């Protein structure tokens, strides 16, 4: 039987040792490695899909949810997207060594604030094997070593992806130990990993609410949490109906099993009787289950009653809560009480109301006349993302290269001493 503590410590030690080297690797070497990894992922797409199919079958046997299986699934389109993400990251400027600020003091000291990697990042995630590729790409470009611990439901997919990444990266000049993948699914490894503060500089969890809550409450390593996405769209009384239908449908139906999908639709009372019958008819065609407030149920017959718990729910499925509100202030108050500070949108042609919503809604991403589905590293021009932070310290929203760096002060003197 494997000694899990020894197993994870050995990986963490290798990563810590490699972090001293990876931060000094030239940009051209990092970019070449990223492009080679992308190339080899595409070359091996049939093998990746074959291994992923094993995970899909296991998930179906375990009767896992539709949303989880959707996040788990890899197909040709998603594999191409992963490779494209790596290519985009390779094109981005290398931030390591960037001079953020220069200061010259009266005593002659020249002070520079220089961007540096965080060091070793532990990534604990569930379901989505694309996280393996996105995380390595962003960490490699930003000079950070990674320790990856994916979920048991994606073990076959993650193994083949990590093998391709591992072999390609090191043959391209990346230091050994820069990318460590934990192929042991014993959950005790998570509890041991989050206490390795001597080796790991940051933990980024991506997964269910239970996993993230456990890590935040128990980790002795600093955590940047990817919180749940209880996202809202508020259709204002000044909304363009056609625009509102298109945006609201996309936000719920296009891919319901992801964190930036809408979970609650808020509709102003003055537009509700015109908008809701058309909108809910479209949802029903797509198989969406509607749970509405009393006012919604008076407009639309035969829908379920939305309980208090529904307003807090991240369904990650074709289920939607609908509430009719009397004002933009009520909509904002609802979002503040029940939302997760992830992504929220207003649909309106009223500029004043749009500005009010964008200023007052305290979420990582706020939208005017656009779907919440755009909260994504690739869509924001970051190449990919390592997570979407719903915190406020250090990083918020999609986390790209900049959010994976820190800084140090470099001070040049000419014999100055403190008096």
DSSP tag of 133: H
What class is the 231-374 domain? alpha beta
Q: What residue spans of 319-374 are helical by DSSP H? A: 328-338, 351-360
- 338 close to 327: Cβ distance less than 8 angstroms: no
Taking the domains of the chain in order of start, what are their residue ranges?
A: 4-224+399-412, 231-374
- 41 close to 80: Cβ distance less than 8 angstroms: no
Q: Is the pLDDT of residue 207 over 90?
A: no
Q: Is the pLDDT of residue 394 over 90?
A: no
Q: CATH number for the 4-224+399-412 domain, one of 3.90.245.10, 3.30.70.1400, 3.40.605.10, 2.60.370.10?
A: 3.40.605.10
Average pLDDT for 352-381: 95
pLDDT of residue 70: 86
Q: Specify burial of residue 145 (Cβ count, 10 A radius: 0-12, 13-18, 19+).
A: buried
Most confident by average pLDDT, 48-52, 62-66, 315-319: 48-52
Q: 362: which strand partners?
A: none
Q: Specify burial of residue 302 (Cβ count, 10 A radius: 0-12, 13-18, 19+).
A: exposed
Mind listing the pLDDT tens digit for each residue in 217-229? 999 999 988 778 9
Q: Is the pLDDT of residue 363 over 80?
A: yes
Mind listing the pLDDT tens digit for each residue in 16-51? 999 999 999 999 999 999 999 999 999 999 999 999
Q: Which residues contact 283 (CB under 8 A, 6 or more apart)?
A: 249, 252, 253, 290, 320
Mind listing the pLDDT tens digit for each residue in 261-309? 999 999 999 999 999 999 999 999 999 999 999 999 999 999 999 999 9
Q: Count of H helices and E strands in the chain? A: 15, 16
Cα dist from 402 to 22, 42, 116, 267, 382, whole Å: 17, 27, 10, 37, 9
Q: 305: which strand partners?
A: 292
Q: Give the containing element (helix H, strand E) for 45.
A: helix 45-61
Cα dist from 308 to 151, 291, 323, whole Å: 31, 11, 12
Q: Is the pLDDT of residue 67 over 80?
A: no
As a whole number, the mean pLDDT across the chain is 94
CA distance 73 to 52: 7
Average pLDDT for 117-129: 93
Q: Specify burial of residue 285 (Cβ count, 10 A radius: 0-12, 13-18, 19+).
A: exposed
Mind listing the pLDDT tens digit for each residue in 71-88? 899 999 999 999 999 999
């Amino acid at each position: 039987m494997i000694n899990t503590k020894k197993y994870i410590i050995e990986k963490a030690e290798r990563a810590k040792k490699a972090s001293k080297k990876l931060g000094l690797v030239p940009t051209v070497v990092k970019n070449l490695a990223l492009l080679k990894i992308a190339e080899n992922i595409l070359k091996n797409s049939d093998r990746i899909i074959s291994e992923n199919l094993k995970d899909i079958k296991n998930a179906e046997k375990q009767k896992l949810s539709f949303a989880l299986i959707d996040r788990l699934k890899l197909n040709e389109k998603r594999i191409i997207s992963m490779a494209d993400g790596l290519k985009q990251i390779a094109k981005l400027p290398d931030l390591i060594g960037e001079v953020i600020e220069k200061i010259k003091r009266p005593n002659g000291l020249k002070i520079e604030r220089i961007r540096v990697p965080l060091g070793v990042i532990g990534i604990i995630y569930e379901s989505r094997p694309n996280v393996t590729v996105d995380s390595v790409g962003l960490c490699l470009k930003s000079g950070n070593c990674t320790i990856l611990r994916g979920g048991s439901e994606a073990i076959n997919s993650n193994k083949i992806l990590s093998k391709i990444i591992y072999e390609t990266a090191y043959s391209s000049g990346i230091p050994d130990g820069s990318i460590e993948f934990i192929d042991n699914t014993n959950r005790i490894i998570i509890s041991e990993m989050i206490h390795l503060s001597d080796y790991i500089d940051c933990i980024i969890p991506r997964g269910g609410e239970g996993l993230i809550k456990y890590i935040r409450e128990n980790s002795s390593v600093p955590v940047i949490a990817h919180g749940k996405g209880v996202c809202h769209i508020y259709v204002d009384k000044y909304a363009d109906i056609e625009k509102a239908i298109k945006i609201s449908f996309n936000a719920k139906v296009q891919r319901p099993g992801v964190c930036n999908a809408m979970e609650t639709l808020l509709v102003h009372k003055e537009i509700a009787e015109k908008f809701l019958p058309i909108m809910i008819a479209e949802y029903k065609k797509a198989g969406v289950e509607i749970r509405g407030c009393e006012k919604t149920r008076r407009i639309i017959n035969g829908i379920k009653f939305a309980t208090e718990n529904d307003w807090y729910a991240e369904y990650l499925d074709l289920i939607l809560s609908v509430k009719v509100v009397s004002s933009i202030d009520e909509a904002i108050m609802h979002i503040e009480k029940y939302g997760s500070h992830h992504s929220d949108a207003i649909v309106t042609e009223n500029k004043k109301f749009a500005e009010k919503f964008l200023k007052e809604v305290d979420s990582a991403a706020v939208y005017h006349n656009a779907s919440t589905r755009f909260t994504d590293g690739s869509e924001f021009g970051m190449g990919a993302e390592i997570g979407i932070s719903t915190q406020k310290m250090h990083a918020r929203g999609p986390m790209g290269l900049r959010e994976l760096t820190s800084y140090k002060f470099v001070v040049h003197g000419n014999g100055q001493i403190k008096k």
